Structures are given as structure tokens and as C-alpha cells.
Amino acid sequence: MDARLQNLLDRRGGLATRRDMLSVAPPWTLQGACRAGRMVRVLPEVYVDAELLRDTQSELPVLARIEPELARRAALAYGGRYAALSRLSALDVWGLRRQPPRAPVHLDLPTGSGRRSWPHLVVRHRPGFAVEPPHVVIRGGLPVTRLDRTLVDCWPLLPTVDRPSLLIRAVNGRLTTPQRLVTALGEVPRLPDRKALRGLMDRLAAGCRSPLEIWGHDHVFTGPGMPVFIRQERVRVSARTIYLDMFAEAERVNIELDGATSHGDLVEREIDLRRDALLATVGILVVRFSHRRLTADPVQVRKETLAILANRGLRA
């Protein structure tokens, strides 16, 4: 390949636009490099070094035959300064869910940008969209749609079983908040399965922070006789900060729901016992229910909870 083109590609991580290449070499030099198989067009006006192709024999689109990171950079080069990674591609960049191999790149651009979808590239046009806050942030050096909007946009694209865990992880990791998610949902009035997403957001806003807590909220710990639990209540005991899963303030009872894999480790079990003992020094009773008990016998768990609360109420 012409040394000028090779040097440009090396400096740009194996990728360059036609405009960039014509700034260092004449058009016939570019054409010769493509005919010789040294360089490949992946999108209109966007080229990569042919040595970066993962599969030279496949009939897949060229964009699907390069590494995902390079494919995203190529898509952004095609979209120009008006484009940002979105939906499943943005979710990958946010580190919440990897896209499957050879999955298409998703790109958001403003309406009227003149860019369209291509094989392995899904372009969505959004009115009023701009590559700047509040629509876009820079993550890992790449422009991506903000996380709350990304999660909402991905909702109908994800397997049903994966949907809740992603939002829970994002909120637990303090990457977003239930309030921001509700605001983002308001921007997409026609989202498929919107009711289920809004229900999940309501549970997150109520303080639920795991699928088990959501299940308990819906089937056990609400309704007649149950207090309004304070979820994720923060208390200070002996210079230590402890977060309580479900705190009945008047009765000073904290309900802890142990997941299906909890306490397989004796060390973790010992940590929980010490924590419970520390809370007892300030008059807080910790009541633990296992995943198995909660899901297999919710009626009995509810009866026991009401009895404990009633007994504590009499002592108060």
C-alpha cells in the first residue's frame, strides 16, 4: 500500500475516511489500494486496513467482519459529528451488556442528517437530537446516548428475562436513578411493553433493589396490615453505616431477603450475623427470610411478619 495511506491508517487505528485519505494522496492511489485488496470500504466514505478483517471469506457485510470496537468507530466516522452510539451498542459501551458477536451497530442522528442504515448498521433519526448534553455523553472516548435513555430504548430489544436485571444493576451501581429513568420513559410515549417498564420503575422508586425484593413487594410485604416499609434506610451504629433492606420504623424491625445464592459462604454468613448483632444494640430486630421460603410459602412468611410486627408494636 502507498506509504502515505498506510501511515494515515496506522495513526487512525486502522480506519480513515475518504476525505482524510484524499488529503494525503490522490484519488487513483486510494482506488489502487482498494483494487489490490489492501484497503476495504466498510461504509460510504469510510475505509479500513484489510488486515483487520477477521474473516476474509465470509459473505457477511464488511462491517460485521471487523472487531466491534472498530465497527463502532467506523459507524461514528460515517455519521460524522452529528452521530452517537445508541441502544444496544451504547449499552455495551456503558458496560452493562455485551452485544452478541456480529450484532449490528446502533447509531442515533438528528432528523434530516442525510445518513441512512446500511448492512450491519441501524440508523435512527431523532427530532431535536444533538451530540451534546443532555442527549449524549462521552464514555471511553466515544459519544453515547445517556444511560437512562439507553435503557429505555433497549427495553423492547432485550430478551424479557434480561430486562429487569439491567435496570437494577444500573441503579444499584449508581449509574442512574429511578427518577431519571421515569423522565427518560416520558420521552418515548409509544414504547412497546411500556406498562411493564413503568411497573419496574415504580418498584425501583419504592426502594426495591433486587428481583427478590420486587417479588416480595408484589406478593408478600404490601396489603392489609403491612406498614409502609422504608427501603434502603441508612443507619449509623458505632461509626458504621448500615443499609436496611425493609425497615418498619415504628416497630424497629428490619426485614432482610436473602437471595438464592446467599450464605453458601460461611464467611459471608458470619458477616451478616455480626451486622445483625450490631443492629440489636440500637434496638433493631433483624428478621431474615430465604429465597426458598419467600417464594415457596409466601402466605406463611406474611403471617410471621405480621405477628412479629404486632408483637414489637405492643412493646413499643
Is 82 part of any domain?
yes
What is the helix, strand, coil percentage profile of the chain, to 5?
45, 20, 35
Amino acid 59: pLDDT: 84
Amino acid 267: pLDDT: 83
Same domain as 104, residue 36: no
Phi-psi region at 263: left, alpha or beta (left = phi > 0; alpha = psi -120 to 50)? left
What is the rounded average pLDDT of the residues 39-68? 90
Same domain as 143, residue 86: yes
Amino acid 268: pLDDT: 83
Same domain as 43, residue 95: no
Same domain as 119, residue 239: no
Is 59 part of any domain?
no
Is 105 part of any domain?
yes
CATH number, position 271: 3.40.960.10
- Residue 50, amino acid: A
Model confidence pLDDT, tens digit, residues 239-287:
899 999 999 999 999 999 986 555 557 888 888 999 999 999 999 999 9
Amino acid 49: pLDDT: 95
Query: Cβ(38)–Cβ(31) under 8 Å?
Result: no
Q: For residue 224, what are the domain limits? A: 211-315
Last residue of a domain, one of 170, 187, 205: 205
What is the rounded average pLDDT of the residues 183-188? 96
What is the rounded average pLDDT of the residues 103-118? 95
What is the rounded average pLDDT of the residues 300-307? 96
Is 194 part of any domain?
yes
Same domain as 102, residue 9: no
Same domain as 201, residue 76: yes
Domains in the chain, number: 3
Is 43 part of any domain?
yes
Same domain as 257, residue 182: no
Q: b vs e for 6-45, b when ≥16 Cβ sit within 10 Å of the residue's Cβ?
A: eebbeebebbbbeebbeeebeeeebebbeeeebbbebbee
**Pairing state between β 285-290 and 253-258:** parallel
Same domain as 261, residue 143: no
Amino acid 265: pLDDT: 72
Last residue of a domain, one of 145, 175, 205: 205
Is 76 part of any domain?
yes
Same domain as 41, residue 74: no
**Pairing state between β 253-258 and 240-248:** antiparallel
Is 58 part of any domain?
no
Last residue of a domain, one of 205, 239, 265: 205
Is 14 part of any domain?
yes
Same domain as 201, residue 80: yes
